[in-house]
């Protein structure tokens, strides 16, 4: 049909339609309203967008992450312990990013990036049409994605018109304030890539073990392909999807002229190669210490108008970097040895086998068992158990997890409470649970000094004697407690000094009856066990109530400090990035909680543990000749080993065991605190003395001793009187002065064994079900929530109720 005829026909049809509208005015009004609505819709949308502007985020510095200064945690001797970063990221400038990364990003995500001002209208319109057809497509530009990544809370996450408008407005603001290279650099340094990797640099290290400037075209396409859905296109877990997505990115690079056809043909055939290595957050030499402080430092920073992650705060702690390094080494060395013992013990025929009832219980408690039981078509429980017991990979994983030896170590200055070394576990990456402050375990015989301290406070002397004989203590309800030691009693009198040195359960139990459980518990709380619940029962004498290592070392610090309690101190001051002191934390005044004479008597009696008792290895094996005192501890079935040593400058304590209290080393020798925990402390103190981190010449000085020269002056006075004074008549009842001014030194046992061992004693109670794992993670409590905080940043752990296993240790 000729064009003129076509136009004539269309004009005639239009005239007919207008004539019908004139004859039907209601239709004309309806069309008029529709036209007005269509004209008003864009105007209303524009007005709504303008109204949203005040509710969109400010973009004063979208690259603030580049200038963020994380808080630094410093040791007392000026060494960096760690930095607190909100994300695992390292900012790199655009010129240090491989060009193939930028090419892949622009070709795939926003090929008109350099032509638009924040929104690609053509792409947005296409996205709307496709979405209406039932094929949702993303239309966001790189700038819009950056706005969404930087301000997720302000813009929102739901797929609504309001969110898209906020995103577009923020993108316009970013484009108006920053150049295209700045936008690209910020985007590539802030986008997440799973596994706590933020930014292209950490992604390159995580997936290909190289820096961002070394990425190849294939590697760049793989990482950029993940941006559509990091989990769905994860090259570690979903390699086939990731490879297909990588090839899609390569095809987009070919389409946009960033690849040649020959190069594309070769690259798309290559397999996906990933060199995955998770980039863990580096927490420094004292990771558990740093983690215990993090929450409290965040609270402090928020209350003072600072950010822990960006304002460059400098936190000065009490940790001594030299002692921390020695503690780490000591725990690692002993941990390896004990792990070898555990592996050999559980590899025996009667160890980790499907017939072992304990192993079966552990399988039933595993997440895999619970998951299988929760299925709708779950088979009978016995079949699930049988299948898991036959699963070699599962059983190996469970065994490695359950039989991994754990340890905790803490050292502090008894005079001011400054914590000098803190090791929460053998490996923070494998076990971030803190066995210093979070774990509560039965202390065994390390609790006995509280019994003797309470007795000395009531006037008892180390030379007082009790019969080493069978003991029966009624508990009520027809139950009787019969504490015993590793061998039969001698039925001879034994001094309290020897009872403590040789860790005699029978002597300690009798002394507990004389003093009373309530007084012992009160003294333990006053001396430092201030967060854990203590059951005021006779068996408390043998350490049946679970406590933390931090509490026990603090309490022994009270003994070393002549009965004066000092709360543990972790932080001394906080500075801003320019060195200005924002807050300083003074040491608290000491609190005399044990009478001076009783404290000095107890301290002197505990020297016997090292000189002739269960802690003799300190001198015999480690050659430590300094003035030290301490106590070993072992719990029932050798589940827990303890040792705490006191030096005038330092109190150091260690615990060894397993996260599950039912797992043991299965050895009567290695399970003893003298062989599991003592070597960590002995190694640490030996090296500290050798490197002169602490002074071997210092001695505990009783309060009436004015100085270290007093013994010399006494000798000079004696010589003067011997030369110039007349001789005195002999006194028939005179006795030689004892080594300690607090009490005379008794004669040693007739034939002490060459090596003192310990044993744990069980209180016969009515049938008690097997105990659940003894160390259950507990949330960190801020000082305002705790019964009593050590200082502004000590953060005690909450009490975890637990059915105790009654235990103790002795020397035969």
The token duo for 113 is: 């990036």
pLDDT digits (tens, 9 = 90+) for 133-160: 665 556 689 998 888 888 876 666 666 7
Please give the Cα distance from 110 to 112 (Å, whole number).
Answer: 6
pLDDT for 766 equals 31
pLDDT for 707 equals 47
Please give the Cα distance from 150 to 200 (Å, whole number).
Answer: 16
Residues of the chain with pLDDT under 50: 3, 28, 705-708, 713, 717, 720-721, 723-755, 761-812
The token duo for 123 is: 């792409």
Q: What is the pTM of this model?
A: 0.74
The token duo for 351 is: 């160890």
The token duo for 74 is: 């410093």
pLDDT for 118 equals 80
Place of tokens 């949330």: 779
pLDDT digits (tens, 9 = 90+) for 430-465: 999 999 999 999 999 999 999 999 999 999 999 999
Please give the Cα distance from 322 to 768 (Å, whole number).
Answer: 46
Query: What dihedral do alpha carbons 736, 737, 743, 744 form, nearest 10°?
Result: -20
pLDDT for 148 equals 84
pLDDT for 310 equals 85
User: DSSP labels for 149-188?
Assistant: HH-HHHH-SS-SHHHHHHHHHHHHHHHHHS-HHHHHHHHH
311, 84 in Cβ contact below 8 A?
no
809, 614 in Cβ contact below 8 A?
yes
Report how far apart, in Å, the C-alpha atoms of 133 and of each of 159, 169, 483 are.
17, 26, 82
Place of tokens 């080993």: 641
Check residue 121 and give left, alpha or beta (phi > 0: left; psi -120 to 50: alpha): alpha
pLDDT for 443 equals 97
- Strand 641-646 and strand 651-657: the pairing is antiparallel
């Amino acid at each position: 049909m000729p064009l003129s005829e076509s136009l004539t026909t269309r004009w005639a049809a239009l005239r007919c339609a207008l004539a019908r509208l004139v004859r039907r005015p209601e239709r004309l009004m309806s069309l008029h309203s529709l036209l007005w609505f269509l004209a008003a819709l864009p105007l209303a949308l524009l007005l709504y967008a303008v109204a949203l502007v005040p509710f969109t985020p400010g973009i004063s510095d979208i690259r603030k992450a580049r200038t963020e200064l994380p808080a630094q945690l410093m040791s007392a001797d000026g060494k960096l312990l760690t930095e607190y970063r909100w994300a695992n990221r390292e900012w790199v400038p655009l010129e240090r990013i491989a060009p193939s990364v930028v090419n892949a990003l622009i070709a795939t995500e926003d090929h008109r990036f350099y032509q638009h001002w924040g929104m690609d209208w053509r792409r947005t319109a296409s996205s709307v049409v496709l979405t209406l057809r039932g094929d949702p497509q993303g239309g966001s530009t790189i700038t819009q994605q950056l706005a969404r990544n930087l301000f997720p809370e302000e813009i929102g996450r739901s797929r609504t018109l309001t969110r898209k408008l906020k995103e577009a407005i923020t993108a316009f603001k970013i484009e108006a304030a920053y150049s295209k290279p700045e936008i690209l650099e910020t985007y590539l340094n802030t986008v997440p890539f799973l596994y706590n990797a933020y930014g292209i640099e950490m992604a390159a290290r995580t997936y290909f073990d190289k820096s961002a400037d070394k990425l190849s075209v294939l590697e760049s396409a793989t990482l950029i392909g993940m941006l559509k859905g990091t989990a769905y296109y994860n090259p570690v877990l979903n390699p086939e999807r990731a490879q297909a997505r990588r090839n899609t990115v390569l095809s987009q690079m070919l389409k946009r002229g960033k690849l040649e056809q020959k190069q594309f043909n070769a690259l798309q055939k290559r397999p996906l190669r990933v060199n995955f290595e998770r980039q863990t957050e580096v927490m420094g030499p004292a990771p558990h210490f740093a983690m215990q402080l993090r929450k409290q430092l965040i609270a402090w920073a928020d209350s003072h108008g600072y950010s822990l992650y960006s304002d460059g705060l400098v936190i000065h702690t009490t940790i001594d970097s030299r002692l921390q390094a020695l503690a780490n080494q000591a725990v690692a060395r002993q941990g390896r040895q004990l792990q070898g013992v555990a592996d050999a013990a559980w590899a025996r025929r009667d160890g980790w086998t499907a017939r072992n009832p304990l192993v079966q219980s552990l399988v039933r408690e595993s997440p895999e068992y619970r998951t299988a039981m929760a299925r709708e078509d779950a088979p009978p429980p016995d079949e699930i158990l049988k299948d898991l017991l036959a699963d070699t990979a599962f059983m190996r994983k469970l065994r490695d997890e359950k039989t991994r030896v754990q340890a905790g170590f803490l050292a502090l200055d008894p005079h001011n409470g400054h914590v000098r070394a803190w090791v929460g576990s053998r490996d923070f990456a494998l076990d971030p649970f803190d066995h210093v402050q979070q774990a509560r375990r039965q202390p065994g015989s390390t609790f006995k000094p509280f019994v003797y301290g309470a007795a000395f406070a009531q006037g008892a002397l180390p030379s007082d004697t009790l019969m080493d004989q069978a003991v029966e203590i009624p508990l009520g309800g027809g139950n009787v407690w019969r504490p015993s030691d590793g061998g039969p009693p001698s039925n001879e009198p034994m001094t309290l000094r020897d009872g403590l040195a040789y860790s005699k359960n029978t002597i300690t139990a009798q002394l507990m009856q004389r003093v009373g459980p309530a007084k012992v518990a009160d003294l333990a709380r006053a001396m430092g066990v201030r967060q854990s619940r203590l059951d005021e029962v006779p068996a408390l004498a043998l350490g049946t109530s679970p406590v933390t290592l931090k509490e026990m070392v603090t309490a022994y610090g009270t003994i070393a400090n002549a009965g004066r309690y000092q709360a543990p101190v972790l932080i001394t001051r906080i500075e801003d990035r320019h060195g200005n002191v924002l807050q300083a934390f003074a040491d608290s005044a000491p609190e005399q909680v044990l009478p001076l004479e009783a404290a000095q008597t107890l301290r002197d009696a505990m020297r016997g543990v090292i000189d002739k008792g269960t802690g003799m290895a300190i001198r015999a094996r480690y050659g430590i000749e300094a003035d030290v005192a301490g106590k070993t501890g072992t719990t029932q079935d050798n589940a827990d080993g303890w040792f705490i040593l006191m030096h005038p400058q330092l109190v150091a304590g260690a615990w060894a065991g397993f996260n599950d209290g039912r797992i043991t080393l299965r050895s009567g020798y290695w399970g003893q605190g003298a062989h599991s925990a003592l070597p960590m402390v002995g190694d640490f103190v030996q090296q500290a003395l050798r490197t002169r981190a602490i002074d071997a010449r210092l001695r505990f000085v009783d309060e009436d001793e004015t100085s270290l020269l007093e013994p010399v002056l006494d000798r000079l006075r004696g010589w003067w009187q011997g030369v110039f004074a007349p001789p005195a008549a002999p006194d028939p009842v005179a006795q030689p002065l004892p080594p300690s001014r607090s009490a005379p030194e008794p004669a040693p046992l007739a034939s002490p064994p060459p090596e003192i061992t310990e044993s744990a004693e069980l209180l016969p109670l009515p049938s008690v079900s097997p105990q659940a794992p003894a160390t259950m993670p507990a949330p960190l409590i801020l000082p305002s929530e705790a019964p009593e905080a050590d200082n502004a940043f000590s953060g005690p752990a909450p009490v975890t109720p637990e059915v105790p296993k009654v235990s103790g240790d002795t020397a035969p």
